[in-house]
Amino acid sequence: MSDGGLNLDAFGDLIERPSAKLRREAEGRRARIGYPVQALGRLDDLGGWLAAAQGRVPVTAIEAPKAVLFAGDHGVAELGVSARPAGSAVTLVRAALEGSSPAAILARRAGVPLRIVDTSLDCPAGELPEEVTRHRVRRGSGRIDIEDALTREEAEQAFRAGMAVADEEADSGTDLLLLGDISVGGTTPAGVLIAAMCGTDASVVTGRGGIRIDDLAWMRKCAAIRDGLRRGRPILGDQLALLAAVGGADLAAMTGFLLQSAVRRTPVILDGVVSAACALVAQRIAFRSPDWWLAGQASGEPGQAKALDRMAMDPLLDHGVTVGEGSGALLALPLVRAAADLAAELPEVPEPAPAGEDGGADDTDDTAQAAITEAT
């Protein structure tokens, strides 16, 4: 779908799958290591995936990962679909910047830089550092049950912002991206997108959110997703219009980020239901793009499970972490690092030489035969 200067159809041509040839080479090398292939379980699959994504065998260690969190507020939170007050995502951003949020603590312990990109927080931009707000599209978003979250122009601006962030990370040498979101109300538009893409009912994708909501809030959320679906289904074939109508600036930016990361051949670990929803939209735009992503963990959100099943992605972990903010992706990072280290450092075992070709016992036999000949 071409929208002025933004040609979404181009992603289908620009994105290639990771190298199948190198994956086969990695599997061949793995077969020459002195441990049974099954002994390392999922780590073997990850090692092959990394070789294909990095374009080298053996792989190199993960040296420069980066967690990137897109932040925004959603107008639909006014309906009481979230356990947090509408417009309060800035408090979560401040906690992350101060190093006191779960994601910030996990990132610090893992030695991973944490980058926050404000696309649509409902606060004055001056309250946050300029490096956080420089990609802001608007303040807050519309209520997707009755109005568009964004204008089409704002959706394109947000999409391009996500692409720009992906380019900045690729240019800076980031070798693995961990994608998350910081939002209030964000799981509701995520549910709309997943239900629309999967052709299912709102109740199938409506979860309890990062902080578990009660039954009444769940029913309000389910109704909001159902209303959003009525607005989104007629424009399902126009992904930018869909993100504008029932998404939000953060979701549009994450979609652009995922696609451009695949263009730049930079692998990504997804976090929870919001990143899974954006990945599903990105897959609709470029069907090869999911080959560049890993699902970090199963959060227990039904929408995430539906989206990952549609993309045939198997989460690395199943800990039921719903806090968001990239925490699930950060928890999966040590597993991916371990796979890279093992694939890079486990030595190949030389094959034993056939009898008569190693210069061992045959040399002795030749010496003995020479002695016999001389005595004769």
Residues with a known catalytic role: 325
Instruction: Tell the burial category of 124 from Cβ atoms under 10 Å away from its Cβ (0-12, 13-18, 19+).
Output: exposed
Question: For residue 59, what are the contacts with CB-CB under 8 A and spacing of at least 6?
Answer: 26, 47, 50, 51, 340, 343, 344
Spatial CA neighbour of 327 closest among 130, 128, 106: 106
Take residue 165 and report the two structure tokens written for it.
């962030």
Spatial CA neighbour of 162 closest among 287, 11, 334: 11
Instruction: Tell the burial category of 159 from Cβ atoms under 10 Å away from its Cβ (0-12, 13-18, 19+).
Output: buried
- Sort strands 268-270 and 176-184 into parallel, antiparallel or unpaired: parallel
CA distance 237 to 240: 9
- Sort strands 65-73 and 114-120 into parallel, antiparallel or unpaired: parallel
The letter for the amino acid at 61 is: A
Q: Are 152 and 241 in contact (CB under 8 A)?
A: yes
- To the nearest 10°, report the CA torsion of 83, 270, 170, 5: -70
- To the nearest 10°, report the CA torsion of 272, 87, 282, 299: 10
Q: What is the DSSP letter of 317?
A: B
Other C-beta atoms closer than 10 Å to the C-beta of 133 total 20
- The CA distances from residue 115 to 65, 68, 70, 92, 159, in Å, are 11, 5, 9, 14, 17
- To the nearest 10°, report the CA torsion of 185, 188, 189, 193: 160
Beta strand segments in 82-205, E: 114-120, 176-184
Instruction: Tell the burial category of 361 from Cβ atoms under 10 Å away from its Cβ (0-12, 13-18, 19+).
Output: exposed
